[in-house]
């Protein structure tokens, strides 16, 4: 059995692709492409990362998926599932997808994965990754990070050498298929269409998706600034973890920003330039994997000797409209999310300090606007 592994990257339409693959898994199987649906076979494919690196280096979706023993048991079950699939369909293609594999995995970890998959009946390996403009990747990764943290990620392009070099050594150059994210393509293309057309060669199975709702939507600049301020004020001890509280806040912000004149996340030009023309990632891709970005002036790339300091103050990174921020905070104050906190206070006879603090925090945001984490605690 052949393995085709879609490894991301993050923020390149991965959720839409995975949802569509799960939706049409029965049709894919008729073409000899087996996609184990996460809810029924491997929940999720990223569990295969367990045991490939130190515990503290695992992505949070794997790290917080249970104890080490529970993850070990789930991975063992996943490999048994793959072995059963391979024994029944030896000539078919096994298709897996997990953007968590778009990260620096130690060479010995990938060697272990290759041994585990070979033992499960896999005989050949192919990996597909979508790459986007470094500054655009950082802008999306910034908003994704701040959903579970108040600390912006370091201002860096994706560490392509650290990510792909172990794949080269363990699986070989021919196993890697790097593709441009659809933002550089003609209007109308997306990751799902490209993957089905030019990777699976089944474009017909990517049709009729016009009525599908948008998934994993990006928040606006003002919404993500509110999220950062909230996590610093209330969830400091749960840094780098998604919480039910912040998920509800994200859902409320998504609804409210549709009726507010908010700003799409856009890096300041000088920040974008520093990321895009740091030659570390793009020159390595060109020199080692023959991957070039069309229209990019490679003569302008340079290797930076000093790390760029990443500010906590989002106003130094992205454009934030102060009026839109305060408007969004006022709408949030009058929303069901805030009123649920008020209800909690009433049910506890007004003695619940968390609920009162949350509304006081919102009142401060609607009056005074955004403040970076070092200051925002004073407004609560």
- Greater confidence (260 vs 357) lies with 260
**Alpha carbon distance 43, 55 (integer Å):** 19
Of 36-40, 141-145, 264-268, 316-320, the one with minimum mean pLDDT is 36-40
User: Does the pLDDT of residue 188 top 90, yes or no?
Assistant: no
Inter-residue contact 348 to 372 (CB < 8 Å): no
Domains of the chain: 2-206 (3.40.50), 221-265+318-379 (no CATH), 269-300 (no CATH)
List, for residues 267-281, the tens digit of each pLDDT value: 999 999 888 888 788
List, for residues 53-83, the tens digit of each pLDDT value: 999 899 888 888 788 899 999 999 999 999 9
Of 29-38, 91-100, 134-143, 208-217, the one with minimum mean pLDDT is 208-217
Q: What is the pLDDT of residue 340?
A: 67
**Averaged pLDDT score across all residues of the chain:** 86
Inter-residue contact 50 to 101 (CB < 8 Å): no
- Greater confidence (145 vs 40) lies with 145
Q: Determine the distance from the C-alpha atom of residue 357 to the mean position of all C-alpha atoms in its chain, rounded to a whole number.
A: 31
Q: What is the pLDDT of residue 157?
A: 83
- Greater confidence (226 vs 15) lies with 226
**Alpha carbon distance 260, 206 (integer Å):** 33
């Amino acid at each position: 059995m052949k393995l085709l592994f879609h490894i991301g990257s993050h923020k390149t339409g991965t959720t839409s692709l995975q949802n569509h693959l799960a939706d049409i898994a029965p049709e894919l199987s008729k073409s000899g492409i087996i996609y184990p649906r996460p809810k029924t076979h491997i929940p999720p494919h990223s569990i295969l990362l367990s045991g490939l690196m130190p515990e503290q280096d695992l992505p949070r979706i794997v790290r917080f998926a249970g104890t080490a023993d529970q993850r070990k048991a789930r991975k063992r079950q996943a490999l048994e599932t793959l072995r059963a699939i391979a024994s029944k369909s030896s000539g078919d293609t096994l298709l897996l997808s997990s953007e968590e594999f778009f990260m620096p995995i130690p060479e010995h970890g990938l060697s272990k994965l290759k041994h585990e998959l070979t033992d499960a009946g896999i005989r050949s390996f192919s990996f597909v990754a979508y790459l986007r403009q470094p500054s655009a990747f950082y802008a999306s990764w910034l908003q994704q990070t701040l959903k579970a943290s108040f600390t912006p990620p370091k201002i860096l392009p994706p560490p392509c050498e650290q990510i792909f070099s172990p794949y080269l050594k363990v699986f070989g150059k021919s196993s890697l298929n790097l593709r441009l994210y659809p933002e550089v393509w003609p209007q109308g293309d997306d990751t799902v269409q490209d993957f089905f057309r030019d990777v699976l060669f089944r474009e017909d199975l990517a049709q009729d998706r016009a009525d599908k709702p948008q998934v994993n939507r990006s928040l606006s600049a003002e919404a993500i600034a509110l999220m950062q301020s909230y996590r610093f004020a209330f969830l400091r001890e749960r840094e780098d973890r998604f919480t039910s509280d912040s998920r509800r806040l994200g859902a409320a912000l998504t609804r409210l920003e549709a009726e507010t004149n908010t700003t799409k996340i856009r890096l300041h030009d000088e920040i974008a330039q520093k990321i895009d023309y740091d030659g570390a990632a793009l020159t390595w891709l060109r020199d080692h994997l023959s991957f070039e970005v069309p229209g990019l002036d490679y003569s302008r790339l340079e290797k930076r000797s000093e790390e760029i300091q990443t500010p906590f103050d989002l106003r130094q990174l992205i454009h934030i409209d102060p009026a839109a921020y305060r408007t969004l905070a006022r709408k949030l104050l009058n929303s069901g999310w805030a009123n649920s906190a008020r209800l909690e206070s009433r049910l506890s006879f007004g003695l619940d300090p968390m609920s009162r603090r949350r509304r006081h925090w919102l009142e401060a945001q609607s009056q005074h606007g955004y403040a970076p984490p070092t200051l925002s605690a004073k407004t609560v």
